[in-house]
Structure 1
Amino acid sequence: MKVDIVEILHQPEYTDENRCEPCTVLNLVIAGIAGSAIARKSKLGGAAAFGASVGLIYLRGYLVPGTPTLTKRYLPSAVLRWFGKEPELETRGGLGSVPSETTSANEQPSKAMTSDSETSTEEIDPHDFLLTEDVLEPCENRDDLCISESYSKRWNAEIVDLTEKDLDVDEAVSILGVQMEGETFEIEQYGEAWALVTGSQTIGQWPSQGALLADVGAARVLEEWSDEWDNLVPAQRGQILNGLRLFLERCPGSEGSVSISQETVESCCSSHEVITVSCDKTGERLFEQQLNEV
């Protein structure tokens, strides 16, 4: 039986559109060094070794066994950026969570978003804000923080109201504090993800419809609950709302429970530990963020 050596060696998960350029360059450098070392004793042997190495890199994506894992784990972030491989993982963290790198040259940066009143541009700690505004409080039965009962009841009531009707994009934009002159807003679905978009840019991305409804419902309550809410810019509001979803105990719009889990997300050249909150019955994801940012 004829054996196709090319088919055996070919690894599509690391080649073609899945090829990791930093891995390829690193392995080519290694191949060049090895070929040069062999060429000191035999030029023909060095050329043959380098040619064979290039062939393996072309078919397999790498020469040194374990290169994808080694690159993800040990190659510095700055080096990955040199090759155009941004090591940061894009998570769908709600309003203002879309990095500027995802917009085109003709799009407006997200700083074009403004709130309804004069706002502060200082950094805000969502945890401190939620504690100061009495949204979070010490849990009664464990050493942790929980949503206060009074806020939780109002938040759940708003979510139920939102799930019983179609979400109005103008209301969502208003309650989230976004103002962009001359722009028309739309809410679009991409697979399981939901996004607030304009003709020029994406304003925010949520991991599910439930996450979006939870944010709009929470913003409804905070508008009356907190005297400081009107003084926050949309990006700050987005951080607070995203952090608040981490404390959800029930799946929005249902009586199902939720679970917090940790998972490893792989990209072509890096790996990240991500914390998620998902509905147990439906699997709908309500929160996702890198572990080092939680």
Structure 2
Amino acid sequence: MTRSTTLDPRRPEHTGENRCWPCTVVNVALVAVAAAAVSVVSPSTAGAVAVVGLALVWLRGYVVPGTPRFAPRLVAPIPGSDALFHGTAATDGGDRAPDGESGSLDPADVDGEELLDRLLAEGVLEIDGDAVAPTAAYRERWRAETDRLRAEDTESLAAIARDISPAAAARAVSEDGDEWVALSPPDGNTIDETWLRRPVAIAEIAGYRAAEPFLSDDSIRLAAARTNRMFLEACPDCGGDLERGVDMPCCGGHTGPGEEPAETLACPACEVRLYTFPRE
């Protein structure tokens, strides 16, 4: 499909619900500064600069080229800017993050180096050139389990997740068109539930089952299932291609001062993040 050559200043990817408020605030301030500077020479021209500038900010999300790259970091040092521009850091619904980040079957922390050594030793992973990748035997089992689970409804996935995870209970949840598996912690406190997006639940259950011939320790199998999501090649639910991106709550990204956003692996069709790579 060819793009129309009609000049359209609107950028819906940066406006409406997608509007990045750090970018908007910075651009409004820059327009005000530019208008004030021009007013020294020509007040009427300054008015035109302000009107045109604000109109472009409204239609495009920003008017200064490159704003998505610098605006979030520009406002990051301002006290309270994170809560002001992106809401509170608290999650809604246990470990379900507001931006759709998913939980895990077993959110317990494990030592990454020890886990890697174990998975390499047991034949789940192997060294492939200068990278680490699943072995052919593990990948074949993982794909077969994924294909079987893809046909299950979310209620069935919740029942399986309850049986293989430390959760006290599990239930299927449908909210705003998205499907989740909600896991109650071992103490049964539903306030601290962990919510898994359906594709993540499929990936981890399949990964856990696929590791059975290689690993006898259930906790290691669960940790492996969570970690091995980084090796996904297609969406476990829809089967579509995955995309690499960065962890950016707004159009230009927002991290702490001097920090780079984390790399992510997501399914654009399901709008689900499958993995967030640790920052180096």
Query: Would the aligned equivalents of 2:14 and 2:60 in 1 still touch at CA under 8 Å?
Result: yes
Q: Is 1:240 paired with 2:229?
A: no
Which residue of the partner structure matches residue 175 of structure 1? Answer: 164
Which residue of the partner structure matches residue 40 of structure 1? Answer: 40
Change (3 A) 1:145 1:277: farther
Change (3 A) 1:266 1:227: closer
Query: Would the aligned equivalents of 1:187 and 1:197 in 2 still touch at CA under 8 Å?
Result: yes
Change (3 A) 1:197 1:26: same
Query: Would the aligned equivalents of 2:150 and 2:202 in 1 still touch at CA under 8 Å?
Result: yes
- Local SS of the residue matching 1:185: strand
> 1:28-52 CA distances to partner (integer Å, 9 max, x unpaired)?
2212222332333455654554455
Which residue of the partner structure matches residue 201 of structure 2? Answer: 212
Query: Would the aligned equivalents of 1:23 and 1:68 in 2 still touch at CA under 8 Å?
Result: yes
TM-score by length of 1: 0.56
**Distance in structure 2 (CA, Å) of the matches to 1:263 and 1:148:** 25
TM-score by length of 2: 0.58
**Distance in structure 1 (CA, Å) of the matches to 2:36 and 2:234:** 63
How do residues 52-71 of structure 1 correspond to structure 2 at under 5 angstroms? 52-68=52-68, 71=71
From 227, 244, 252, the counterpart of 1:270: 252
Change (3 A) 1:189 1:213: farther
**Distance in structure 2 (CA, Å) of the matches to 1:293 and 1:138:** 21
Counterpart residue type for residue 171 of structure 2: F
**Distance in structure 2 (CA, Å) of the matches to 1:138 and 1:190:** 42
Query: Would the aligned equivalents of 1:188 and 1:197 in 2 still touch at CA under 8 Å?
Result: no
**Distance in structure 2 (CA, Å) of the matches to 1:260 and 1:10:** 28
Counterpart residue type for residue 240 of structure 1: A
Query: Would the aligned equivalents of 1:245 and 1:286 in 2 still touch at CA under 8 Å?
Result: no
C-alpha displacement of 1:156:
5.8
Which residue of the partner structure matches residue 23 of structure 1? Answer: 23
Provide the aligned length of Structure 1 versus Structure 2: 247
Q: Larger deviation: 157-166 or 129-138?
A: 157-166
> 1:45-69 CA distances to partner (integer Å, 9 max, x unpaired)?
5455445533443344333245346
**Distance in structure 2 (CA, Å) of the matches to 1:38 and 1:249:** 54
Which residue of the partner structure matches residue 112 of structure 2? Answer: 124
Change (3 A) 1:248 1:36: closer
Which residue of the partner structure matches residue 186 of structure 1? Answer: 172
Query: Would the aligned equivalents of 2:15 and 2:58 in 1 still touch at CA under 8 Å?
Result: yes
Which residue of the partner structure matches residue 89 of structure 1? Answer: none
RMSD between superposed Cα atoms in Å: 5.1
How do residues 14-163 of structure 1 correspond to structure 2 at under 5 angstroms? 14-41=14-41, 46=46, 49-68=49-68, 71=71, 75=74, 81=82, 83-85=84-86, 101-103=90-92, 107-108=93-94, 121-125=109-113, 126-138=115-127, 145-148=132-135, 151=138, 155=142, 158-159=145-146, 162=149
Change (3 A) 1:277 1:293: farther
- Local SS of the residue matching 2:17: helix
**Distance in structure 2 (CA, Å) of the matches to 1:109 and 1:252:** 21
Change (3 A) 1:161 1:189: farther
C-alpha displacement of 1:175:
0.7
**Distance in structure 2 (CA, Å) of the matches to 1:61 and 1:50:** 15
Give unmatched runs, 5+ long, in structure 2: 1-6, 97-102, 184-189, 254-260
C-alpha displacement of 1:130:
1.8
Which residue of the partner structure matches residue 182 of structure 2? Answer: 197
From 191, 207, 215, the counterpart of 1:226: 215
**Distance in structure 2 (CA, Å) of the matches to 1:250 and 1:37:** 53
Change (3 A) 1:291 1:149: closer
Query: Would the aligned equivalents of 1:169 and 1:187 in 2 still touch at CA under 8 Å?
Result: no
Which one has a bigger Cα radius of gyration?
1
Change (3 A) 1:150 1:13: closer
Query: Would the aligned equivalents of 2:244 and 2:266 in 1 still touch at CA under 8 Å?
Result: yes
- Local SS of the residue matching 2:85: coil
- Local SS of the residue matching 2:119: helix
C-alpha displacement of 1:26:
1.0
- Local SS of the residue matching 1:196: strand
